[in-house]
Amino acid sequence: MLLFFAPILSFSCKQKKPMGFRERKIELNDSLGTITINLPARLEKYNSWSDNEVYQRIFYRFNDNDYPVVKEAKSYNLDSIYQFTIWQTDLTTKEISQKSCFSNIDSLKILGKPLQVTEHYTKYFLREFRLINNTLFSIEAYKTTSFSPTKTTLFVIATTCYKDKKLIFVSECRGKDTTGFIDNLYKSILSIQIK
C-alpha cells in the first residue's frame, strides 16, 4: 500500500519555482525583449528610471516594502537596503570588438581565484561562469565593507550580453535582515530567462 502512494506524493511535491518566490516579467526598453525571473516575494515594489544624460543606463528595480526606494548615489548612505536591480547599458566599443562583455580580467578574476578569497574589504563566496537558459553569465557573490567600514553589504551580481546591450543583475542587502540573502538571490539568478 505504501508503494502505491509514494509516486503520487513525489509528483505532487514538484514545483516550478521555490517557495516564497514570485515570477516577475520585466519588459526591457528599446524593444530588447522580456526578462522572466523568480524573485523572493518580499521584493514587491517596482520602479524603473534612466540616467541617460551621464551613463546611458536604464534601471529596473525591485525593493522590499520595508526599505526605501532610492536611486544609485543615495543608496550607499542607507543603513538598511534589500533590493534587486537590472542595469541595462550599451556595450563599450571594446566589448563590441571583442564580441563579449566579459573582459580577460573578468575571466582571470573569476576562474583564477579560489572561493573565500578576501580582497581589501571584500570576501568572495562565489565566482563562476554559468550557462543559464542558453545565456552565458558571470556570477559573483560576496560581502563587503568597502562603502562603509561599519556597514556590511551582501551582493549577488550576474552579468551577460544580450543583443547589443550589457545586462547587469545586482542584488544587494545591508542591515540586520541578511539571513538567506545570497542563497535566495542566487536561486533567482539561476531562474533568469531572456526572450
pLDDT tens for residues 88-104? 988 777 776 666 676 54
Task: Tell which CATH architecture fits domain 20-194.
Answer: 3-Layer(aba) Sandwich (3.40)
- Report the C-alpha gap between 94 and 42 in whole angstroms: 38
Residue 61: band (very low, low, confident or very high) from pLDDT cuts 50, 70, 90: very high
- Report the C-alpha gap between 152 and 73 in whole angstroms: 17
Query: How many other C-beta atoms can be found within 10 angstroms of the C-beta atom of residue 106?
Result: 16
Q: What is the mean pLDDT of residues 145-156?
A: 79
Residue 5 has pLDDT above 70, yes or no: no
Residue 54 has pLDDT above 90, yes or no: no
* Per-residue cell: 73: 548615489
Strands 118-119, 165-174: pairing kind: unpaired
For residue 156, the cross-strand partners are 141, 171
Exposure of 36 by Cβ count < 10 A (0-12 exposed, 13-18 middle, 19+ buried)? middle
Q: Which residue has the higher pLDDT, 49 or 110?
A: 49
Every domain of the chain and the residues it spans: 20-194
Of 20-34, 65-79, 96-110, the poorest mean pLDDT is in 96-110
Calculate the CA dihedral of residues 86, 91, 95, 98 and round it to 10 degrees.
110
Residue 56: band (very low, low, confident or very high) from pLDDT cuts 50, 70, 90: confident
Residue 184: band (very low, low, confident or very high) from pLDDT cuts 50, 70, 90: very high
Q: Which residue has the higher pLDDT, 4 or 18?
A: 18
Residue 79 has pLDDT above 60, yes or no: yes
The mean of the pLDDT values for the chain is 77
